[in-house]
Amino acid sequence: MVWVEIDGSYGEGGGQILRTAVALSVITGKAVRITRIRANRPNPGLRPQHLHGILALKELSNARVKGAQVGSTELEFIPGEAKPRHIRVPLSTAGSITLVLQALLPAMAFIGGSFEITGGTDVPWSPPVDYLKHVTLFALGKMGVKAELEIKRRGHYPKGGGAVAGKVEPWEEMKPLFAFEWGKIERFSGISHATNLPAHVAERQAKAAKERIEEHYNAPVDIETEVSGSLGPGSGIVVWAETDGLRLGGDALGERGKPAEVVGREAADELLDQLKTRAAVDKFLGDQLIPFLAFAGGEVKVAEITNHLLTNVWVVERFFGKVFEVEREGRGGVVRVIRRVDG
């Protein structure tokens, strides 16, 4: 058996390597061996949310897996026959639902299927679920990926309790994505939510974000507010600019002692910072697009070339050889597909 060998400590050395490598293993049918998993992190090896993503892909592809346990620093994944399934992922406490979806979505785009995932929808160090739904899936839609996501309940750190459901159709028409600079902002949109907290928290976050955006741009700003209940309290806001190309986003989470106004301004400032470069793709979306761009082709300008993006490029090229050319321009740059992979 020929293995694709992946050094899990390469580049930013985090869970992204695992998610992309195992998803590509399912797509290609190639066995993958990942060593030194998160070797340079304070808590090395597989964490529970990484493990759940791997187990979901195992189920999707009827794979044989060795080393799939918390703390393991080496993983062998041998995919079997992949076919559309309904995948349930029960993340304990507030494990990130969106990070599991970063593993599942590329594979499901090729196979099809549906999912239910419980855990954290809005937690630190991972994309909020509203960003994935309104920014990431919007961009993937431009590439021909048909995916739906429904947020059934919010889940915050530390208790979790969030729930999402969705489905992905097999990717039939792969459309190359060409997105350089935005020329016009049609409007700003967003969702400000408060869970197990007073309604005024969501309203104050939204108002502060709206006012900050209006200081810089003369375009309509419409931020919805949402108040709900779950296992524990939490709040957050995601705002995005709807341009004549893609959407660019910014987000912030509430925390005890942090005024709602600060949360709202933080999300707005993050978005405004991305817009300054006029790049069509924000720094968060850049690395998420990489596995899809490899198959669809295209060229995008990213507000910031992050270590996550470069690591994802490296993982893709461990499977397929040279695919991308990355050209830096200041902190941002252009990512160009020079050899499209046959899906």
Q: What is the DSSP string of 199-239?
A: HHHHHHHHHHHHHHHHTT--S-EEEEEEEE--SS-EEEEEE
Question: What is the pTM for the complete model shown?
Answer: 0.97
In this prediction, residue 310 carries a pLDDT of 97
> Residue 256 carries which DSSP code?
T
Task: List residues bridging with 87 in a β-sheet.
Answer: 115
Q: Per the residue annotation, which of 50, 52, 193, 308 is the catalytic one?
A: 308
Task: Judge whether 246 and 139 are in contact, CB under 8 Å.
Answer: yes
In this prediction, residue 49 carries a pLDDT of 83
Residue 285 in 3-state DSSP?
helix
In this prediction, residue 19 carries a pLDDT of 96
Annotated binding site for ATP: 102, 284-288
Annotated active-site residue 216? The verdict is no
Domains of the chain: 1-83 (3.30.110), 182-275 (3.30.360.20)
In this prediction, residue 1 carries a pLDDT of 81
Backbone torsions φ then ψ of 286, nearest 5 degrees: -50, -55
Which stretches in the chain have pLDDT values below 50?
none
